[in-house]
Amino acid sequence: MARLSDVIEALLKEMIDENQGSVEITRGELAEQLNCVPSQITYVLSTRFTNGQGYLVESRRGGGGWIRIHKLVTTDTASQYVMHALNTMGDELTQHQAYVFLRNFVDYQVIEESMAKIMQAAVSDHSLQLIEGPIKDKVRMQILKQMILQHSM
Amino acid sequence: MARLSDVIEALLKEMIDENQGSVEITRGELAEQLNCVPSQITYVLSTRFTNGQGYLVESRRGGGGWIRIHKLVTTDTASQYVMHALNTMGDELTQHQAYVFLRNFVDYQVIEESMAKIMQAAVSDHSLQLIEGPIKDKVRMQILKQMILQHSM
DNA sequence: AAAAATAAATGTCAAAGAAAGTCAAAAAGT
DNA sequence: ACTTTTTGACTTTCTTTGACATTTATTTTT
């Protein structure tokens, strides 16, 4: 029979993958579902979800407490994602498309929230209001590309 | 299941944001609305609206008493200075002027080096190469202003 | 008009409740 | 034998609740 710890590990990793790289649980509930003592969860977290293994675990005690597990994005995958994104971008970008891109970058931890906001401001319609017609979306793309390139240097 | 404290915190912050950074409540009424004991409000105020977290709480007891919460505005004099400079600089900006500005921002510790590089990329001639003639420097100014504005929020 | 009583607010503090954390002993693998 | 896993008692942290205290405003009494 499979080890309990392995079952818990597999379950958590499945939950994480189904949830964009992070998950929130309450230790007690999960323990109950799996029919084990709560500290077993702690054990699994400390042996299979360490920092060195690419995970970050936060928690909070007390009423309504929780445990969150984040899968860290390695710079390798991040830069791969950026490369792919840049290549599929084409040479035009609407304001909305830019927002979607930036949102994804944040989700994939390529850039931080605060950085995304600055970039969003830079490529907003408001910033580019003086530009006429079809050139606007091309300039927008140029700006975003330059910023992203700069960022990954 | 969301914590009651979190619900109260979120509600208060929403009220504050909708009301130019401050709000006045009566503890009893709010407690009644939220179906909790009044001291729960006190607890939330003492754990989530501390001075260190950027809030100031005043109160008064007795008939007609109240509790006021103010969100403290960080008076970043350097940032203010820079905004003033931006505003008095007219509506055009060359690439070189932009670089000088950004270097000053970093020196005044208004923004960090990495942020400055992103901004520099955004307003570089390379980003804006598709824009014709005199409009280019106006667009550059717009972009920089929007980014700085966003940054100081 | 002054004093006293009453009502209407917030403040305090400690106990109870609800989570996660720790650690060492026992059990199970290797 | 040695290492890893499982278990459970105990600890720590955070939240919720309620009784009681204090402060301020209003009303009543003298």
Provide, as residue numbers in chain A, all residues whose Cβ is less than 8 Å from the Cβ of B127. Answer: 139, 142-143, 146
Res B4: pLDDT: 96
Among all chains, which residue has been given the structure tokens 């905004």?
A: B83
Res A104: pLDDT: 87
Distances (CA, A) of B65 to B9, B16, B25, B29, B60: 21, 19, 9, 11, 5
Res B36: pLDDT: 96
- Cβ contacts of A37-41, under 8 Å, gap ≥ 24: A40/A4, A40/A5, A40/A8, A41/A8, A41/A67
Q: How far apart are alpha carbons A101 and B149 in whole angstroms?
A: 22
Instruction: Specify whether the CB–CB gap between A112 and B114 falls below 8 A.
Output: no
How confident is the model over B92-113, as pLDDT tens digits?
999 999 999 899 888 888 889 9
CA A39 / C1′ D3 distance in Å? 19
B64 touches strand D (CB under 7 A): yes
Cβ-Cβ contacts under 8 Å for B109 (sequence gap 6 or more):
B78
Among all chains, which residue has been given the structure tokens 């330059």?
A: A146
Q: Is the pLDDT of residue B83 over 80?
A: no
- Comparing B21 with B82, the larger pLDDT belongs to B21
How confident is the model over B56-66, as pLDDT tens digits?
999 999 999 99
Q: How far apart are alpha carbons A62 and A64 in whole angstroms?
A: 6
CA B35 / C1′ D18 distance in Å? 14
Sheet holding A22-25, edge to edge: A22-25, A66-71, A55-60
Res B53: pLDDT: 93
> Whole-model pTM?
0.73
> Mean pLDDT, chain B, as a whole number?
91
A5 touches strand D (CB under 7 A): yes
Percentage of chain A with pLDDT > 70?
A: 99
Nearest CA in chain B to A135: B130
d(CA A3, nearest CA chain B) in Å: 30
> Mean pLDDT, chain A, as a whole number?
92
CA B58 / C1′ C5 distance in Å? 29
Percentage of chain A with pLDDT > 90?
A: 73
| Distance from chain centroid for Cα B117 | 22
Q: Do A139 and B131 touch (CB under 8 A)?
A: yes
Cβ-Cβ contacts under 8 Å for A138 (sequence gap 6 or more):
A91, A92, B130
Res B1: pLDDT: 60
Give the single-character DSSP code of B127.
T
Q: How far apart are alpha carbons B151 and A112 in whole angstroms?
A: 13
